[in-house]
Structures are given as C-alpha cells and as structure tokens.
C-alpha cells in the first residue's frame, strides 16, 4: 500500500483502516476501497484533502 500523495510506503497504522504517512504527514482512512485523506493542522484539527485528488488517484493499491 502506498500513500496517494507522496507515493511512499512509509505508512503507520493508527487504528483499524486508519493510517498515517510519515513522509508527508497526512492521515488516511480506508472507505469503499478508496483513501479519505486529511491533513493534520497545528491545532490538531483535520482538513480534508480529497478535493485535491481524483477518485482514481485515491484508489487503494495493495
């Protein structure tokens, strides 16, 4: 599995179907065989990055 943002395989598992990319510092959640991507802000809130990627880019490659 690779990060759809930086294409790194350096993903850590946070919870069931929930990952963190240690290269580009985004959180990834798996839903319907696609990543839901969020940027972690300084205050701990999450900002969605899904609008920056098309659905094919967010498809999971195992």
pLDDT 10s digits, 39-51 = 989 998 999 998 8
Would you place residue 62 in the very low, low, confident or very high pLDDT band (cuts 50, 70, 90)? low
pLDDT of residue 2: 85
60 vs 28: CA distance, rounded Å: 11
Q: Residues 43-62: what's their mean pLDDT?
A: 83
Is 29:21 a contact under the CB 8 Å cutoff?
no
Is 60:34 a contact under the CB 8 Å cutoff?
yes
Rg over CA atoms, the chain: 11
Question: What digits encode the pLDDT tens for the residues 16-36?
Answer: 999 999 999 899 999 888 889
Q: Residues 13-17: what's their mean pLDDT?
A: 93
Cross-strand pairs, 34: 31, 59
pLDDT of residue 43: 93
53 vs 14: CA distance, rounded Å: 22
């Amino acid at each position: 599995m690779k990060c759809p943002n930086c294409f790194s395989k350096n993903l850590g598992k946070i919870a069931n179907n929930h990952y963190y990319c240690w290269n580009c510092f985004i959180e990834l959640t798996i839903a319907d065989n696609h990543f839901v991507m969020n940027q972690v802000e300084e205050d701990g809130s999450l900002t969605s990055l899904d609008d920056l990627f098309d659905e094919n880019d967010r498809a999971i490659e195992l």
